[in-house]
Structure 1
Amino acid sequence: MTVQQTSLSAVRPPHVRRLGVGGGTALCAGAVLGPGVLTLPSLAAAAAGPASLLAWILLLAMCVPVAASFAALGARHPDGGGVATYVHRAMGPRAAATVGWWFYGAVPIGVVSAAWIGGTYVADAAGWGEAGAAVVGGLVIAGALASNAVGLRMSGRVQLLLGAGLAAVLLCTVLASAPRVSAAHFTPFLPGGWSSVGSAASVLFFAFAGWEAASHLSGEFADPARDLPKVTRNTLLTITVLYLGLAVVTIGVLGPAAADTDTPLTVLLTRSVGAAARPVAAVAALFLTFGAVNSYLAGASRLGAALGRDGAAPRALAKGCGPGEVPRRSLAALGCACALLGVAAGFGGADLDLLMRATATCLAAVTLAGLGAALVLLERRTWLWWGVLGSAVLTTGVLAFSGALLLLPLVLAVASFVFLTARRLRA
């Protein structure tokens, strides 16, 4: 059994012959960066205040062995299945199926979260309020579902442009806001105690999914063993500069007010360059959100079809999994789940913070499974193996701060086990 596409952020790139370090870095950085970063600095500030910087640093440090191990496994076992392929090799098909269910279950939550972010930025610029944000978010999801249903796919160049656009917006925000940073806004540094740092890390994990993108790219390099480490280092440097820079200016410029806004980039740019930045930030957020939602649904619908084809999910989902076909049944299942979640959120059943924490919990479970596989497949007692072990411990700690949301991956794992057991008994 092969389970494909296991990252909310990692969309398998188009076929590129002899991919270079520059192009590989652009694709990998684009997979890690996502629309969540447009609001996560505020959510983290609400959880831990200035100490949320420690959560950013902690997760960035954890990324080093995670990225290095996925790059090493991608070089040794080139395959489009990513983490699920490694889990299959290390732990067997049932564990790989569970990873697939975790990702498939996380996508509708992540899609609603991303659409909500885009809708909030547009509504903030237009003065439409929460109802306007919900309408815009719904239109984003509907447009992405329609695009995928008719078989339209965003080209690799468009995806790269969207990723480059997000990086440019973040960098401009950091540079424009840096002169306004005030040291007074960093005190008191730890208002919520040390546990608040763990709470901030549990929601920030949303911004750190996608490192298995390196494994999806491995077959496209002329020399994966030589180029993947360089791509990984370049991507780590890029996200470190952007994430830490954004976190510092959000706290340093906005202070306690950072926790009170859902559109921190708009607020930062407005204070730095004036009101003209408001529509610019809204348009950028809308395009980035649509691109992310479209990619999420494209990858997840094919994953659902692959799970159905391989017997890890209902066979009905398998229709449309062939080359050039459109997995409309899997897409419809995702669309129904998005609609139900969107309606529940609209009537107060969930807020953006809760949705992003739920998505991050499932993604952290996927990452932990990948790290477990790396501990089995990589050479033991090397510096990389010990680094993976340390990251696995940190990821477990982040998961512990998810609290009741741990029920989500647990329920999905039980559902996967029950389905596979029932299918075997019927057979």
Structure 2
Amino acid sequence: MSEAAVSSAGLRKVLKLPQIIALYIGSVIGSGILLIPGMAAEAAGPASILAWLIMSILVVPMAVTMGLLASKYPSAGGVSHFAKLAFGPQYGNLVGWFFLLSVPLGGPVLAVTGAQYIGVLLRFGHDQVYAVAFVLVMLPIILNLFGLKLAGKVQTAVIAMILAILLLAVFAAVPHHSAEHFTPFAPHGWLSVARAAGLLFWCFIGWEAVTHLSSEFVDPEKDAIRGVLWSAGIVAALYFAVAYFTIATGSYGGTASAASLSLMVQLSLGEAGGWVVAIAALFICFAAHNAYASAAARIAYTLAKEGAAPRAFGAVSRRFGTPVGGLLFIAAGSLVTLSLLYSGTVSLAQLIQWPNATFVATYIAGCLAGVRLLKGSKLGKAAALTSLASTLCLYPFLGWSALYPPVIAAIVYVIHRRTRNSNM
């Protein structure tokens, strides 16, 4: 038996339910908690709490679908792999493009979010905030050029830090709760609740991230479902608590929305609490961008090798063996996006909706694949159909950003046609 086979066999049966739950929680809870509660409250007022309830319910069949697909079709390709199995390589590559073109938009969102948390404490001006954001955008890309990655222990520490900060923020906000902050309840109309729900999707992505580990579950058939159900409940409870106290303490509105978590902690702990959150926010945003940039660069490389992307995307550093073509694409796109944010051409609240739309489209693709691939399972098919219906209903409320995935699909189609014609 080869070394690879031995390694694969040795890793199959090591993850039990507690570890699976921790992995799912760490994959779903991330930078969104730093930014979205305040933005959602600003968009829909206190009624945004209803959007959190709606998403907490809708996420259960979505998580179950991803869990079942992970247990039945384990692969590092995630949703892209499921789409390939269900509908063919072209559709799988399209899902890969959705992810690739999310990162040059989502990376600057992460960077500016982390920079604003520091800016609130140090009373930074506009230029200073964006100088920090520039470093946060470029540093992970530069590190990836040299083949450096954050260690697993560091990523685990980030997860523990996020959970600790969420609990700290909730307990710090309890004494400052006021019912007055819930009136008027829906100042922007009830339609704003649906629009806020679309924005909240950013906080509930990540269920597909653990799919490549499903072959290592001790009992994947049972624990994949139990794991997503437990983690969905914990994630929903944490998000709802933070969102509720963001509203109950009035920690949102204007520039405060981008640093609402910090403001909540400072209510009881003062500037010291704000510093804890700010430093953690920098670390969280850096870690998330590092992971996404690394993954997207490798997706660019894979797409190029399959003829689904320009050849330049497949360039590899001879010295370090890293996907330099993909990283340069991400760097260029991120700098353009950061420039648009800096100039005020687009706001953070507007920009985040665009990568959010591609994630919604990715989950639609995953649910469609689930309907076909899980047809032998009553639970799987019901979960896939339910999550497909809910994401399709949510899609129109994305606004203009709903056009982003179809534009990507059109570009991918043109590239595919040109590549096919050049090979004929």
- Per the TM superposition, whether the score is higher than 0.5 is yes
**Which residue is equivalent to 1:181?**
177
**Which residue is equivalent to 1:86?**
82
TM-score by length of 2: 0.93
**Which residue is equivalent to 1:98?**
94
Q: Distance in 1 between matches of 2:40 and 2:100?
A: 26
Matches within 5 A, 1:4-403: 18-254=14-250, 257=253, 260-320=256-316, 325-379=321-375, 382-403=378-399
Q: Secondary structure at the match of 1:18?
A: coil
Q: Distance in 2 between matches of 1:403 and 1:257?
A: 21
**Which residue is equivalent to 1:4?**
none
Deviations, residues 126-181 of structure 1 (Å, cap 9, x unaligned): 11122111111111112111111101011112111111111110111012212322
Letter of the 2:144 partner, please give it: N
Q: Distance in 2 between matches of 1:329 and 1:359?
A: 21
Letter of the 1:139 partner, please give it: V
Q: Distance in 2 between matches of 1:47 and 1:344?
A: 21
Letter of the 2:312 partner, please give it: A
Q: Distance in 2 between matches of 1:147 and 1:238?
A: 33
Kept in 2: contact 1:312–1:419 (CA 8 A): yes
Q: Distance in 1 between matches of 2:382 and 2:185?
A: 32
For the pair 1:416 / 2:412, whether they are aligned, the reply is yes
Q: Distance in 2 between matches of 1:278 and 1:380?
A: 51
**Which residue is equivalent to 2:4?**
none
Q: Distance in 2 between matches of 1:356 and 1:257?
A: 17
Deviations, residues 368-405 of structure 1 (Å, cap 9, x unaligned): 11111111111268244233222222212222012221
374-383 vs 228-237, which moves further: 374-383
How has the CA–CA distance of structure 1 residues 131 and 46 changed in structure 2, closer, same or farther, with 3 Å as cutoff?
Answer: same
Kept in 1: contact 2:42–2:257 (CA 8 A): no
Q: Distance in 1 between matches of 2:205 and 2:338?
A: 23
Kept in 2: contact 1:43–1:353 (CA 8 A): yes
Deviations, residues 303-347 of structure 1 (Å, cap 9, x unaligned): 11111112211222223399x831111101110000111112111
Q: Secondary structure at the match of 2:203?
A: helix
Structure 2: unaligned runs, 5 residues or longer: 1-10
**How many residues are matched?**
412
Kept in 2: contact 1:32–1:211 (CA 8 A): yes
RMSD: 1.9
Deviations, residues 208-251 of structure 1 (Å, cap 9, x unaligned): 11111231221222331132122212211221121000011001
**Which residue is equivalent to 2:8?**
none
Q: Secondary structure at the match of 2:102?
A: helix
Kept in 2: contact 1:45–1:259 (CA 8 A): no
Letter of the 1:363 partner, please give it: F
Letter of the 1:338 partner, please give it: S
Q: Distance in 2 between matches of 1:256 and 1:41?
A: 8
Identity of aligned residues (%): 33
Q: Secondary structure at the match of 1:402?
A: helix
Q: Distance in 2 between matches of 1:129 and 1:279?
A: 18
Q: Distance in 2 between matches of 1:371 and 1:303?
A: 21
Kept in 1: contact 2:256–2:263 (CA 8 A): no
Q: Distance in 2 between matches of 1:145 and 1:237?
A: 34
Structure 1: unaligned runs, 5 residues or longer: 1-14
Q: Distance in 2 between matches of 1:240 and 1:42?
A: 16
Q: Distance in 1 between matches of 2:317 and 2:80?
A: 18
Deviations, residues 40-82 of structure 1 (Å, cap 9, x unaligned): 1111011111111111111111111111111111111111111
Q: Distance in 1 between matches of 2:49 and 2:371?
A: 29
**Which residue is equivalent to 2:7?**
none
